[in-house]
Amino acid sequence: MNEILVWILVVVAQAAGATIWIGVYTTAQSERGQKAYSRSCSTCHREDLSGSDDGAPALRGSVFFERWKDRSLSEMFFVIAETMPQDDPKSLSPAEYVDIISFMLGRNGAPAGDTELPTDQQKLKRIVVVEKPSPR
């Protein structure tokens, strides 16, 4: 039953166009995110987001999409904020976490837009990670 509800929510979000492919963050936000990522994440996940041999997963490419496919940015925010940085979870501000998410989205090919990614969890719930749509 729960899987059906999740599927329905994903279909509704996708139908509304609320995916990472509609420009849900700004270039400036991604640039701030890159700085925050370099300070707080790159030691484990590397500057190029490729992950490490010590178990830190890649944050780009197929690994990223397999992990977050059909999940909302609210879920991503929650997981990252609750567990990262590994040596000091919850140590960044909500704005820094969404900036880092913006940076990761950009590195995964999602385009920047005109509006910053919000820290509001209700708004983040409406944005779903999906693989890049095929051109029609």
Q: How distant, in Å, are the alpha carbons of 6, 11, 13, 126 from that of 100?
A: 25, 26, 22, 18
- pLDDT exceeds cutoff 60 at 14: no
Q: What is the pTM of this model?
A: 0.87
pLDDT, residue 135, reads 78
- pLDDT exceeds cutoff 90 at 10: no
Cα(97)–Cα(15) distance, integer angstroms = 27
> Over the stretch 28-45, which tens digit does the pLDDT of each residue have?
999 999 999 999 999 999
> Over the stretch 61-109, which tens digit does the pLDDT of each residue have?
999 999 999 999 999 999 999 999 999 999 999 999 999 999 999 999 9
Residue with tokens 């000091």: 88
pLDDT, residue 134, reads 81
Q: Which domains does the chain have, with CATH numbers?
A: 22-125 (1.10.760.10)
Cα(65)–Cα(44) distance, integer angstroms = 19
Please count the residues of the chain: 136
